[in-house]
Structure 1
Amino acid sequence: MSTKALITGITGMVGSHLADFLLEETDWEIYGVCRWRSPLDNVDHLLDRVNKKDRVFFEYADLNDQMSLYRVVTEIKPNYIFHLAAQSYPQTSFTAPIDTLNTNILGTCRLLEAVHAAMVADESYKPVIHVCASSEVFGKIPADKKPEDGINEDCPFHPASPYAISKVGTDLVGRYYAEAFGMTVMTTRMFTHTGPRRGDVFHESTFAKQIAMIEAGMLPPVVKVGNLKSLRTYADVRDAVRAYYILVTKNPVAGEYYNIGGRYTCEVGDTLEALINMSPMKDQIKVEEDPERLRPIDADLQVPDCRKFTAHTGWEPVIPFEQTMEDLLNYWRDRVKGGHEFLTR
């Protein structure tokens, strides 16, 4: 019988790259949970395989609908579940906190409850589950409180947005189901990860999109920005999905939780400078602060200590920051050349 993986949020940046990785590196069947209205831009290269039922299948369900999740889990009985779906934009969570909390906390609970029910109905069914939390759970850590080697798993949570609060709940719900019901659930706190297909609401991606539009003459040569002083440690999304695969396949330990991230740390302003320097128009581009891009509170010291995960799995990031940024910029250049219309966000 074929090994089956279920990916919630397959149409997102991470979910689509995880599907690509699993198709390339395994012989698994890939089942992607998506809503009927989910944009398919990130998976358009997979649609022919979906149509032909060639190892990739879309399952329509919603984290806010318990029965749809139960149906998917009981019908497929996936060996591996990667729970990546979420309301994932911190800025939006300030204006839509209830939706964020409902989708991310209760949605995770609904999914795990569906899995638990399937396991009760069939005692031989024992899936391995990855619940994706976020480094945002650590929030705004004062400089004098940050461990010398970076934020480790034992740092206290101090969430700085409704999104971050929702991911605290996601993290704890995952561990609860592992401890209470013996389910093999592991949670991760992935730090900033990016690359092609990154949503344009995130800082490095909106920078790249604006630069691509400036190069195409669609915008004046001004990049609008928010807080450029936040410190971020970057990983490539393709390294991230490789980490997730290793997480569930290399001696998975029920109830464990890991920080995962890259090695390249800089201020957001340095990221902007790196992207501008990749443009032939670098000498013409100006930078302008946009108050609408500022968060009420910012998690501004996002530097991870990933030694626990590395010691357990041997995973290391391998894609350099410069390649990640170049690939992100080229992704937006290709989209702009494709004649798409974009919001100037």
Structure 2
Amino acid sequence: MSRPSPPRALITGITGMVGSHLAEFLLAETDWDIHGLCRWRSPLDNLAGLTGAIDRGERVFLHYADLRDTLGVDQVVAETTPDVVFHLAAQSFPKTSFSNPLDTLDTNIEGTARVLEALRRHAPQAVIHVCSSSEVFGRVPRDRLPIDEDCPFHPASPYAISKVGTDLLGRHYAEAYGMTVMTTRMFTHTGPRRGDVFAESSFAKQIALIEADRQPPVIKVGNLKSLRTVADVRDAVRAYYLLVTVNPVPGAAYNIGGTHSCTVGDILDALLALSPRRDDIRIEVDPARLRPIDADLQVPDTRRFTAHTGWTPRYTFAQTMHDLLEDWRARVRAGVPVINR
């Protein structure tokens, strides 16, 4: 008697920070086959730990399509007919969305619609995770903290507006077509492989460059007063796995986030404390790093998700900061080309 085929997971955005960590988690913790959707031009650096499996065609497979390409997305879903889907791919940088709003809206809203429509056609039985964002809540008054799932949306960037559309599309496909679609609003999450356009990763990169004498001892910053609750990306991907495996509830939406709340300035201080050059470094506000509007109070109420799945963070803030900085030190030692942005 032949053994049943293992479940097939599709990860859109597998080459990103979260997608690559999720693929590694699933490879280590499950017997699932992992199919990753990525653009042909996407850097593959984050998949370094998976290249052996990809080259051997063992459990990890790459498929090429762009979220803006309806036929390409449809073909990948038809070929893979996934049992589980993690829709992570997006234009994910809020500041960029101010200069590229149409690209952001197309990629994130219409791209999500393309993915969900392809799933409705070819894999309606799939358990689907649509990754929204805490940015949908935007400008939250202090008396609404911590932010629960019923807090009104007040998006503060074109990116956040695009994620409102993503969020609502997930619920629509669950309600209109009976599909098992769930939405997460993940609050700040970081760690190794974080893109350098995000504040805490930019700080770590600049510290690593200063330590290597590849940058003057000046760290350029934006708004340091914004309040954030920080989680580790490795805790985030474990949460996403529990989302799709612990009694999935069609149409459900969950806030997910860490337990350490601090200002962006506090994050900078924590990273500087890890550097032997900390006494030599000065801080300089760069107007180009400031958003026209900032979602400056991002503190989540995660009780709905933790009660449903039992998930709690395992990584401490200190460990996350240490690992983020060490990741950038390793990149700088390896001579990876970086620019100051």
Q: Per the shorter chain, which TM-score range? A: over 0.9
Aligned partner of 2:66 in structure 1 is 62
Does 2:303 match 1:303?
no
- Post-superposition Cα deviations, 1:224-247, rounded to whole Å, max 9, x if no partner, equal 000000000000000000000000
- What's the offset of the Cα at 1:118? 1.3
For 2:322 and 2:262, locate their aligned partners in 1 and report how far apart those are by CA, in whole Å: 16
2:217 is matched with 221
- Which amino acid in the other structure matches residue 130 of structure 2? V
% identical aligned pairs: 67
How far the C-alpha of 1:44 sits from its partner, in A, is: 2.1
Matches within 5 A, 1:248-267: 248-267=244-263
Return the match for 2:283 from 276, 284, 287: 287
Residue 141 of structure 1 and its aligned partner are, at CA, apart by 1.0
1:105 and 2:109 matched: yes
| 1:329 CA drift (Å) | 0.1
User: Partner amino acid for 2:141?
Assistant: P
- Matched letter for residue 197 of structure 2: V
- Select between 45-54 and 166-175 the one with higher mean Cα deviation: 45-54
After TM superposition, give the deviation of residue 117 of structure 1 in Å.
1.1
1:71 alignment partner in structure 2:
75
Could you list the per-position Cα deviations for residues 5-50 of structure 1 after superposition, in whole angstroms to 9, with x for gaps in the alignment?
Answer: 0000000000000001001100111000001101111112212211
Instruction: Report the equivalent of 2:206.
Output: 210
The aligned residue for residue 127 of structure 2 is 128
Q: Distance in 2 between matches of 1:343 and 1:283?
A: 23
Cα distance in 1, alignment partners of residues 304 and 205 from structure 2: 35
Question: Using the alignment, how far apart are the partners of 1:93 and 1:185 within structure 2?
Answer: 26
Counterpart position of 2:171: 175
Shift of the alpha carbon at 1:76? 1.2
2:87 match: 83
Which one of 48, 53, 56 corresponds to residue 52 of structure 2?
Answer: 48
Residue 191 of structure 1: aligned partner: 187
- What is the match of residue 137 of structure 2? 138
Q: Deviations over 1:281-318 (max 9, x none)?
A: 11111111000000000000000000000011100011
What is the one-letter code of the residue matched to 1:73? Answer: V
Structure 2 residue aligned with 1:323: 319
Give the TM-score normalised by structure 1. 0.97
What secondary structure does 1:315 align onto? coil
Stretches (4+) displaced over 3 A = none
**Code of the aligned partner of 1:47:** T
* Secondary structure of 1:283 counterpart: helix
Deviation per CA, 1:242-283: give whole Å up to 9, x if none.
000000000000000000000000000000001001001111
C-alpha distance in structure 2 between counterparts of 1:25 and 1:205, whole Å: 28
Distance 1:76 1:219 in 2: 46
Whole-Å separation in 2 of the counterparts to 1:132 and 1:116: 18
In the superposition, the TM-score normalised over structure 2's length comes to: 0.98
Distance (Å, rounded) in 1 between the aligned partners of 2:314 and 2:79 = 37
SS at match of 1:82: strand
C-alpha distance in structure 1 between counterparts of 2:129 and 2:70, whole Å: 19
Paired residue for 2:160?
164
Answering whether residue 70 of structure 2 is matched by residue 27 of structure 1, we say: no
Distance 2:164 2:337 in 1: 36
User: Cα distance, 1:215 vs. partner?
Assistant: 0.2
Deviates more, 1:60-69 or 1:9-18: 60-69
Alignment correspondent of 1:122: none
CA distance in structure 1 between the aligned counterparts of 2:70 and 2:155, rounded to whole angstroms: 27
Amino acid corresponding to residue 35 of structure 2 in structure 1:
Y
Out of 222, 241, 253, which is 1:245 matched to?
A: 241
Unaligned runs of 5+ in 2: none
**Higher deviation after alignment, 132-141 or 41-50:** 41-50
State the SS of the aligned residue for 1:32.
Answer: strand
SS state at 1:92 partner:
helix
Which residue identity lines up with residue 250 of structure 1 in the other structure?
Answer: V
Cα offset for 1:81? 0.3
Alpha-carbon distance in structure 1 between the residues aligned to 2:337 and 2:8: 37
**Distance (whole Å) between structure 2 residues aligned to residue 140 and residue 60 of structure 1:** 37
